[in-house]
Chains A and B, each alone.
Chain A
Amino acid sequence: MMRLDTKINEVGKSVALCLKCNMCTYGEWPENYSLCPMYAREKVYTSSPGGLIYLVRALLENKMEYTSDLSDLSYFCINCRACDDICEIIPIPAPHVIPTEVIRLLRHELVKRGLVSNECVKKLYKTIKKDGDFKRKKIEIKIPESMKNKNSKNIFFIEGLYPGDQKQIYSSALEVLQKIGLDVYVYRDEGSCGADLYDLGFIDELKILLEKKSELINQLAGKNLIFIDPHTEEFVLRNWQQYVKTDKKLVGKHLSEVILEGLKTVRIRTKHFDKITLSYHDPCILGRGLGIYEAPRNLITSFEGVTLLEMKRNRRNSYCCGAGDGTRGKAFPEYSEWVAHERLEEFKETGADILITSCPYCKGIFQKVLPSKQKTKVKDLIEFVNERIE
């Protein structure tokens, strides 16, 4: 991950090497699946990672000015990271950036110039400028007494940004952690961990936010952090470390990995259910960002009577849900829902009963676009596990 103080003019050499090969938009041979939602929708070079990289080059070479049109285009990239996983040209020269980092630098420059035209992004920016954080109403979750021991080595990290309708995921997580008997302390961050600020290019504001969190960050260093939201996990583990003042490391795991380990070591009784077929949607950041593809699958298939039916685009070749980090659904609702529909069509092709995912935003957007009678067809992995263990 690039340094937070990386400047856009440091990537001049990287962007000048783009070949316009368009390979950043599709997956591995021989399937060559279309992976970039922006390109799949617009079908023009400009709306592709390469296109945005070329526009950054144009800006650096004074071929164009920063404009609000550019801003809309840059936020149209949903941050699914497919291009990062594919392009092996851009990262080679220093400062070794990957395509979405170039796009993030572009957003930062646009934000600095006040050229954010999308109303939703603009509103978020005003909030962060005013409050220094995105604080929302707390989700009411009853935290068991046993999870209030601050000295616990394991910290279950709940960020304060999740929409209230995802309360069920967090409640389920607490129950599962109790069932597997893991000693944890529940840490509830009241605001943003910074991942969304980073993605939106609010880099200057992000630095202030992280400075404020410095004490917290240092307290968490050396503990075993447990995450549900892959966006938070990736950002905390990769970016908070530079604020740790000791030699302690920020280490953590995704809850699916923790539960899988727990089920191996603790004898857990499972409930009886009829046979069921499931399909698993790889959240972009859990997969491409953190490299976690198998733990959720192994967890799903550890239950009797469960058959996993893969969608044709899976693992590294997975396709985004459309939500991004949650902001795209609000900033570009029609586009975001179009992407979600594309993915749900693929799920339907599997014929599976239930779609499991492992990120609150994925569940949110899928449920949003499904007809009301079908919303229960989508579950978070943790909800599914909680239903099945006693």
Chain B
Amino acid sequence: MEKKRKRIKGSLFETISKAIGKGKVRNDETTLVAYGFDSSITPFQKPSLVVLPESREDVREVLMVANEDRVPVTVMAGGVNIGGMCVPSEGGIVLDFRNMDKILEINTDSGYALIEPGVNFDRFTAALHKKGFKCHVPTAPGGATPLGNYLLQPSGSLANRHYDSIIALEVVLPDGTVFHTGSAAYPSDNVKYYRRYGPFPDLSGLLCCAYGTLGIITKASVRIYPENESSRVNLTAFNDYGSATKFVKDVVGANIPEHCIIWSWQFYKTYDISLENVEKPYIPPELYSDPFKPPKGVPYNIVTTLMSGYNEVLDASERVCAKVAKKYGGRVISWRELEEISPGAARSWKEFYLEHHQPKMEHNKKYGLGRYSAWIGIAEPKDVVEVEKFALSTVKNLGKGVRPICYYSQPFDFGRCMFLRMFVYTDPNDQDLLNKIRATYTEMYNTIMQKYGATPERYRRDPDMIRQLGGYYEILKRIKKALDPNNILNSGIGLFVDV
């Protein structure tokens, strides 16, 4: 429900239009409808306005008006969200940052880039590639934004060695206060956005995983990394997930990879969907078979181990990968062999790892299989094998309408924990099934916590997820009250429903 307002819709439109310019404010029915839902099961709700700011000052003006009138503000960096986080569930204003999309600086000396919220991965990775640099690339589409993605603690191409991508931020609060985090907070134009931590508490961290509820970010510095003399991907095939995780733990512990990902066979086979004949797309039939039983010749898991650096080091690292693979019953496979097993995966992984960007549509075709529903658990390495078995079999038991069942898994933060993202594709119009999947996922989160000490990775618009955290939640609520006393920021997602 929308908070009590002092103005009627028309006057809110007029006030904001007058403050920032009419061309940046939309209240036509078609626009309001298009911004009222996404591909999640979140109920449809039209906003009252869609505002497309072009500067920090525009954002300030909008927030101050909204705060005064207690109008909810839902923020959208690029809008590629399939979890309902950008749906304005309480109406109000959608602040769409697509037109604040400047790459302000690429600092190859300190290894950061300063970007506006609307910059997307395709533009960002292309700009970095020109300078011989790369960034953390998630499995999200190239139209997604680094800022939106990095604030969620993403999974992707570099997350086991380089876990935190956010450095320093520029933040606007509902009362118009602007503050900076990290080194950007210092009162000198000579101090740039290069450092996140110390000597005081980490306010960048406060904004991470806050889902736009604690402040609106208008500028951010994010970590970037040199492409180095060479990048290589070691491909290792395993017949079971347990062996694959042992391999990963071992090579990560030995400082071999920048990153490893364990791909399930049904995931990498989705890359083989072909639209060559657009009227009759090819979908590998095995995607609809038992996820525990890959066809002959198709490895249950393939591990991609990304390494970059001097060639001499990489030569030695590849030999180590082969040795470790053998130790755990796996085997190194060549790119040629991968091309035979899954030509789509070979093409996509080359782009993903060696060109450091999302494979354009190779990557997205899988979303054409049906409504994508993801479940993400984080477990300690010793427990993750049981979590995989449990999650895969639970989801499999949902029936044949829930296919294919894919996952990828990776060590986060030098292997301190293992990330497991499982996802299924279903009829997007079957609401009953989608609700059933959501309920099952909730049960699965509870089970993995109780049984395996594992935790969920993302907030899912379910206030009970944060309520169960007790004291942690109480402190967060106090912080929320200080920063956003009228609870206008992304209030619809229910993270601070008790404030």
Contact = CB atoms under 8 A, between A and B. Distances in A.
A69 B428 CA distance: 27
Contacts of B30: 46, 55, 64, 67, 69-70, 73
B441 to A, nearest CB: 19
B33 A29 contact: no
B227 to A, nearest CB: 13
Interface stretch (B57-65, B356-364, B409-417): B356-364
Contacts of A21: 80, 141-144, 364
A87 interface: yes
B369 interface: yes
A26 B79 contact: no
Interface residues of B, number: 55
Summarize A's interface: helix, strand, loop or mixed: loop
A115 interface: no
A92 B35 contact: no
Contacts of B428: 13, 16-17
Interface string B78-117: 1111100000000000001011000000000000000000
Interface in A11-43: 12-13, 16-23, 26, 28-32, 43
Nearest to B81: A20
A171 B335 CA distance: 56
Contacts of B486: none
Nearest to A98: B278
Given A13-B427, A46-B34, A88-B365, A23 B141 contact: yes
Given A20-B80, A92-B369, A96-B279, A44 B143 contact: no
B296 interface: no
A54 interface: yes
Contacts of A17: 39, 367-368, 370-371, 428
A389 interface: no
Summarize B's interface: helix, strand, loop or mixed: loop
B496 to A, nearest CB: 25
A147 interface: no
Given A43-B99, A69-B28, A91-B278, A18 B39 contact: yes
Interface in A36-81: 43-46, 51, 54-55, 57-58, 61, 63-64, 67, 69-70, 73
Contact of A92 (B26, B360, B365): B365
Given A19-B367, A69-B30, A96 B281 contact: yes
Interface stretch (B121-129, B375-383, B455-463): B121-129
B80 A22 contact: yes
Contacts of A30: 122, 125-126, 129-130, 357
B417 to A, nearest CB: 28
A22 B126 CA distance: 17
B371 A19 contact: no
B69 interface: no
A32 B79 contact: no
Given A44-B52, A46-B31, A32 B122 contact: yes
B364 A19 contact: yes
A57 B34 CA distance: 9
A19 B280 CA distance: 22
Q: Which of A70, A73, A92 has the most CB of B within 10 A?
A: A92
A89 B99 CA distance: 25
Contact of A86 (B31, B79, B123, B361): B361
Contacts of A69: 28-30
B188 to A, nearest CB: 35
B224 to A, nearest CB: 15
5 tightest A-B contacts by CB? Answer: A92-B368, A16-B428, A30-B126, A21-B143, A88-B361
Interface of B: 26, 28-31, 33-39, 44, 50, 52, 78-82, 96, 98-99, 120, 122-123, 125-126, 129-130, 141-144, 273, 275, 278-281, 283, 357-358, 360-361, 364-365, 367-371, 427-429
25 contacts: A13-B428, A23-B141, A26-B122, A28-B360, A29-B126, A30-B122, A30-B125, A30-B129, A32-B123, A43-B99, A45-B35, A45-B79, A46-B26, A55-B33, A67-B29, A67-B30, A88-B364, A88-B365, A89-B364, A89-B365, A91-B368, A92-B281, A92-B283, A96-B278, A96-B280
